């Protein structure tokens, strides 16, 4: 029932839009037009004003067909933005079915593959008069920047308790049932400036303080659940001045939210301890961007997906991911969901690619999930 040519054309059309985070206006208008034409009730929220972007989050609702009203609604979600470099993206469909950019930009399969699959699934249902439960759609803005669009969405609009987020790399059939808490931090060390040639002993070397603290902290995997990374360090003004200020930034990820917070406290404590020992001061701040979740493999949202994959002869593969997605804020607001692999590979790079066969698979899976009577 999936029409391959239409699906690929829709995908390529959306790839052609410049839709960086906070700049999704054009693709948002395209999606609004298509969803409305398919009979969904579409609302764009005020996220554009709240996050200083050009487009808000799109929410759409499709009532159940007769006889399916008793089934609880399902939410399907994807995001409208792409990472850079994205200006002037163009999808090139190769003879073997592989779809790439021209190599100067990302392709944008992350997450145009999801948007195309969901639009195709809705179209297939409508033109074939397939019975279906109530369907909710959430297309978010600025997902690539720590899910900032979804973080300001009014979740009281959502009626569903289960969600499928189409936003995972790898072969279709994969699904992430676990993702981490992710927090970023900024630590500023305040030392004391002094002439490095005449009176270096009168200065307090802020970079040395920061380096000493960083040296004490393990980076990379701390245990099977947690990673820490000091990503940037900036300090000093001139080669002949003892640097009085140094700013360090980094991130912590953990499948255990409390462990993530303990790791942050340890990080801050080590910097404060090193600063005190050398007479410096520290300003430390952190932001929790997303919270960890784990969806039980026995949950219907997982079992339904596995049965649909089996129907299509597609092996299902449940996994954990250290990346975040809109399923994190959905989970935080009471929905149980999983993140589906969605015909995207080598994401966040100019070697990103998709494949026609994979696009067809995820569209077909989406149709059956929407029409499931489970």
Q: Is 80 exposed, middle or buried (0-12, 13-18, 19+ CB in 10 A)?
A: buried
**Containing domain of residue 276, as a range?**
181-290
CA distances from 324 to 40, 43, 162, 216, 372 (A): 28, 25, 18, 28, 27
Q: Which pLDDT belongs to residue 229? A: 98
- For residue 202, give every residue at least 6 positions away whose Cβ sits within 8 Å of its Cβ, in sequence order, or none: 192, 194, 242
Q: Is 123 helix (H, G, I), strand (E, B) or coil?
A: helix
Strands 281-290 and 92-93: unpaired
Looking at the fold, whether 297 and 279 belong to one and the same domain comes out as: no
In this structure, what is the dihedral angle of CA atoms 250, 254, 260, 262, given to the nearest 10 degrees?
-110
Catalytic residues: 81, 143
Q: Which pLDDT belongs to residue 228? A: 98
- For residue 130, give every residue at least 6 positions away whose Cβ sits within 8 Å of its Cβ, in sequence order, or none: 65, 124, 367, 371
Q: Which of 259, 290, 321 is the last residue of a domain?
A: 290
Report d(CA 46, CA 323) in Å as an integer. Answer: 27
Looking at the fold, whether 45 and 71 belong to one and the same domain comes out as: yes
The enclosing domain of 328 has a CATH number of: 3.40.630.10
Looking at the fold, whether 314 and 249 belong to one and the same domain comes out as: no
Looking at the fold, whether 13 and 148 belong to one and the same domain comes out as: yes
Q: Which pLDDT belongs to residue 306? A: 98
Query: Count of domains in the chain?
Result: 2
Looking at the fold, whether 122 and 136 belong to one and the same domain comes out as: yes
Q: Which pLDDT belongs to residue 328? A: 97
Q: Which pLDDT belongs to residue 151? A: 94
Residue 299: how many CB atoms within 10 A of its CB? 15
Q: Which pLDDT belongs to residue 236? A: 95
Looking at the fold, whether 260 and 279 belong to one and the same domain comes out as: yes
Q: Which pLDDT belongs to residue 333? A: 96
Rg over alpha carbons for the chain, rounded to the nearest Å, is 24
Q: Which of 290, 323, 358 is the last residue of a domain?
A: 290
Q: Which pLDDT belongs to residue 54? A: 98
Looking at the fold, whether 224 and 114 belong to one and the same domain comes out as: no
Looking at the fold, whether 108 and 199 belong to one and the same domain comes out as: no
Q: Which pLDDT belongs to residue 58? A: 98
Tens-level pLDDT at each residue, the chain (374 residues): 899 999 999 999 999 999 999 999 999 999 999 999 999 999 999 999 999 999 999 999 999 999 999 999 999 999 999 999 999 999 999 999 999 999 999 999 999 999 999 999 999 999 999 999 999 999 999 999 999 999 999 999 999 999 999 999 999 999 999 999 999 999 999 999 999 999 999 999 999 999 999 999 999 999 999 999 999 999 999 999 999 999 999 999 999 999 999 999 999 999 999 999 999 999 999 999 999 999 999 999 999 999 999 999 999 999 999 999 999 999 999 999 999 999 999 999 999 999 999 999 999 999 999 999 98
Q: Which pLDDT belongs to residue 352? A: 97
Q: Which of 290, 316, 351 is the last residue of a domain?
A: 290
* Sign of the torsion formed by the C-alpha atoms of 373, 75, 309 and 120: positive
pLDDT for 240-269, tens place per residue? Answer: 999 999 999 999 999 999 999 999 999 999
Q: Is 335 helix (H, G, I), strand (E, B) or coil?
A: coil
Q: Which pLDDT belongs to residue 103? A: 95
Looking at the fold, whether 279 and 241 belong to one and the same domain comes out as: yes
DSSP conformation letters of 277-297: HHT-EEEEEEEEEE--EE--T
Looking at the fold, whether 145 and 196 belong to one and the same domain comes out as: no
Q: Which pLDDT belongs to residue 284? A: 98
Looking at the fold, whether 284 and 307 belong to one and the same domain comes out as: no
Question: Shortest CA distance to 150 belongs to which of 53, 227, 79?
Answer: 79
Report d(CA 197, CA 99) in Å as an integer. Answer: 59
Looking at the fold, whether 315 and 327 belong to one and the same domain comes out as: yes
């Amino acid at each position: 029932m999936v029409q391959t040519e239409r699906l690929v054309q829709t995908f390529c059309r959306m790839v052609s839009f410049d839709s960086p985070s906070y700049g999704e206006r054009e693709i948002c208008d395209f999606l609004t037009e298509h969803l409305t034409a398919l009979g969904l009730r579409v609302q764009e929220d005020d996220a554009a004003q709240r996050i200083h972007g050009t487009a808000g989050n799109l929410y759409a609702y499709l009532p159940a067909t007769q006889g399916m009203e008793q089934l609880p609604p399902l939410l399907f979600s994807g995001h409208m933005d792409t990472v850079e470099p994205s200006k002037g993206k163009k999808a090139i469909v190769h003879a073997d079915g592989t779809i790439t950019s021209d190599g100067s930009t990302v392709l944008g399969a992350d997450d145009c593959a999801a948007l195309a699959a969901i639009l195709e699934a809705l179209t297939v249902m409508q033109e074939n008069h397939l019975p279906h439960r109530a369907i909710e759609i959430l297309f978010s803005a600025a997902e690539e920047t720590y899910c900032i669009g979804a973080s300001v969405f009014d979740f009281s609009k959502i009626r569903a308790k289960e969600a499928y987020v189409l936003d995972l790399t790898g072969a279709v059939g994969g699904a992430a049932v676990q993702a981490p808490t992710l927090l970023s931090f900024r630590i500023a060390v305040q030392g004391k400036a002094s002439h490095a040639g005449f009176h270096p002993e009168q200065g307090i070397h802020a970079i040395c303080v920061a380096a000493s603290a960083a040296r004490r902290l393990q980076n990379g995997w701390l245990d099977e659940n947690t990673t820490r990374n000091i990503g940037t360090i900036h300090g000093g003004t001139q080669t002949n001045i003892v640097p009085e200020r140094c700013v360090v930034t980094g991130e912590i990820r953990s499948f255990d939210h409390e462990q993530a917070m303990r790791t942050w406290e340890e990080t801050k404590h080590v910097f404060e301890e090193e600063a005190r020992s050398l007479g410096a001061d520290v300003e430390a701040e952190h932001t929790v961007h997303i919270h960890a979740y784990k969806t039980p493999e026995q949950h219907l949202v997982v079992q339904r997906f596995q049965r649909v994959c089996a129907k299509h002869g597609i092996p299902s593969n449940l996994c954990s991911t250290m990346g975040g997605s809109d399923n994190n804020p959905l989970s935080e607001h009471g929905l149980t969901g999983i993140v589906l692999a969605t015909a995207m590979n080598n994401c966040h790079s100019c070697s990103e690619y998709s494949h026609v066969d994979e696009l067809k698979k995820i569209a077909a899976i989406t149709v059956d999930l929407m029409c499931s009577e489970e």
